[in-house]
Amino acid sequence: MSTATQAGRVLSGMRPTGQLHLGNYHGALRNWVDLQYQYPCFFFVADWHALTTGYEDTSMLPEYTQQMAIDWLAAGLNPGVATLFVQSHVPEHAELHLLLSMITPLSWLERVPTYKDQQAELAEKDLATYGFLGYPLLQSADILLYRPQHVPVGEDQVAHVEITREVARRFNNLFGRESEFETKAEKAIKELGGRNSSLYRELRRKFQESGDTVALEKARALVQGNNRITVADRDRLLGFLEGSSVAILPEPQVLLTPTPKLPGLDGRKMSKSYGNTIGLREDPDSVAKKLKTMQTDPARVRRTDVGDPGKCPVWQLHEVYSDDATKRWAEAGCRSAGIGCLECKKPLIDKVVEESTTMRKRAQEYEENPELVRNILTEGAEKARDAARETLDDVRRAMHLRGD
């Protein structure tokens, strides 16, 4: 049994929505590419989640899944270091979802902000379904199944990680109880050895008294890095940090993506549903054409009018793509009407084209050999299942279900 969070493990997922755009890249994917070299990472295509809002027509699902995987590889996710897979290839997600559904109060799901918001936003669809209500719980199962320490997501997903933590806590309280837990935990603290014992107590006190999560992380690392104690004691010590039961499903932490707000062509947030996107693998002519017509400071009507970069979505792209010298040039030229908007956009077009050209090159091999992608995803699913089975074995045992 190994119920500890896997030190530093990272897990995240994305719904397959077809080809990714620059907003997806700068808002999430680019961060994943960095993370894969710092932590053991699991990234998956959440195809079951796509069904919660798109159940009438599922015909595009295979294509969207394939395209998303190609985008990931094109952006630099490396299947040699990160585990890439598809949710529905790992049926353990469904079993854990079912088991967690038994202990999750309806009210917890009803009060998740995305529930009402999305129903209102997608009013043309009938989202009064069981599956849609259960969306955050399926996400909790996705996460808890891998016992990750970090879940990199944007602001919009924080509430889902929060409910995941609550569900984990409830599960551990219900099924992680053992007789004389506190006595056993106290004994385990002594096993840590002199200095480490007092350090553990100190960090635990800090976390419990003031919710200091840095102290919690330090304490977890202290426990996980100690190889003198037994696995059972390790799980007790991890559980004792947060409560009075064994941490069968440890609580994960949000790793907030440092998201530069990427504007779309019309100045609103870049989003598929607004039709204002530039694709990750868009061809150079199309990138240039789109950027040339992109919204600028509305007050700058004529070439001779001065502009304000603070009111211009193109400027926000400069913030993401341009170096300091280019930014100074654009800002000064804009404020003095020294340059025209097309001129201002030129270096930006070059940068975006350069980026998409790299992606297109990397994607080409996979587009020509779709079975390469399928193999990567099959291998990824096998690795994911190994990790998932370990957790489910512990979960089943704790619930007095088949404990093999």
Query: In the complex, which residues of this chain contact ligand SF4 (CB under 6 A)?
Result: 296-297, 300, 307, 309, 312, 314-315, 330, 334, 339, 341, 344-345
Residue 26 binding target from ligand SF4, ligand TRP, none, CB below 5 to 8 Å by type: none
Residue list 131-150, contact with ligand TRP (CB under 6 A): 139, 142-143
Residue 314 binding target from ligand TRP, ligand SF4, none, CB below 5 to 8 Å by type: ligand SF4
Residue 296 binding target from ligand SF4, ligand TRP, none, CB below 5 to 8 Å by type: ligand SF4
Which is closer to ligand SF4, CB of 103 or CB of 301? 301
**Smallest distance from the beta carbon of 360 to ligand TRP, in angstroms?**
25
Residue list 141-200, contact with ligand TRP (CB under 6 A): 142-143, 151, 153, 157
**Smallest distance from the beta carbon of 143 to ligand TRP, in angstroms?**
5
Measured CA to CA in angstroms, residue 53 lies from 136, 168, 314, 383, 386 at distances of 13, 25, 33, 29, 30
**Smallest distance from the beta carbon of 139 to ligand TRP, in angstroms?**
4
Give the strand order in the sheet containing 10-14.
Answer: 83-86, 41-45, 10-14, 150-153, 253-256
Which is closer to ligand SF4, CB of 258 or CB of 298? 298
**Smallest distance from the beta carbon of 398 to ligand TRP, in angstroms?**
22
Residue 143 binding target from ligand TRP, ligand SF4, none, CB below 5 to 8 Å by type: ligand TRP
Q: Does 45 help bind ligand TRP (rule: CB under 6 A)?
A: no
Which is closer to ligand TRP, CB of 12 or CB of 296? 12
Which is closer to ligand TRP, CB of 136 or CB of 279? 136
By CB under 6 A, the count of residues binding ligand TRP is 13
**Smallest distance from the beta carbon of 16 to ligand SF4, in angstroms?**
34
The secondary structure of the chain, three-state, reads CCCCCCCCCEEEEECCCCCCEHHHHHHHHHHHHHHCCCCCEEEEECHHHHHHHCCCCCCCHHHHHHHHHHHHHHHCCCCCCCEEEEHHHCCHHHHHHHHHHCCCCHHHHHCCHHHHHHHHHCCCCCCCCHHHHCHHHHHHHHHHCCCCCEEEECHHHHHHHHHHHHHHHHHHHHHCCCCCHHHHHHHHHHHHCHHHHHHHHHHHHHHHHHCCHHHHHHHHHHHHCCCCCCHHHHHHHHHHHHCCCCCCCCCCEEEECCCCCCECCCCCECCHHHCCCCECCCCHHHHHHHHHCCCCCCCCCCCCCCCCHHHCHHHHHHHHHCCHHHHHHHHHHHHCCCCCHHHHHHHHHHHHHHHHHHHHHHHHHHHHCHHHHHHHHHHHHHHHHHHHHHHHHHHHHHCCCCCC
Q: Does 13 help bind ligand TRP (rule: CB under 6 A)?
A: yes
Which is closer to ligand SF4, CB of 221 or CB of 337? 337
Q: Does 65 help bind ligand TRP (rule: CB under 6 A)?
A: no
Q: Does 14 help bind ligand TRP (rule: CB under 6 A)?
A: yes
**Smallest distance from the beta carbon of 30 to ligand TRP, in angstroms?**
15
**Smallest distance from the beta carbon of 299 to ligand SF4, in angstroms?**
8
**Smallest distance from the beta carbon of 339 to ligand SF4, in angstroms?**
6
By the criterion CB under 6 A, which residues form the site for ligand TRP? 11-15, 46, 49, 139, 142-143, 151, 153, 157
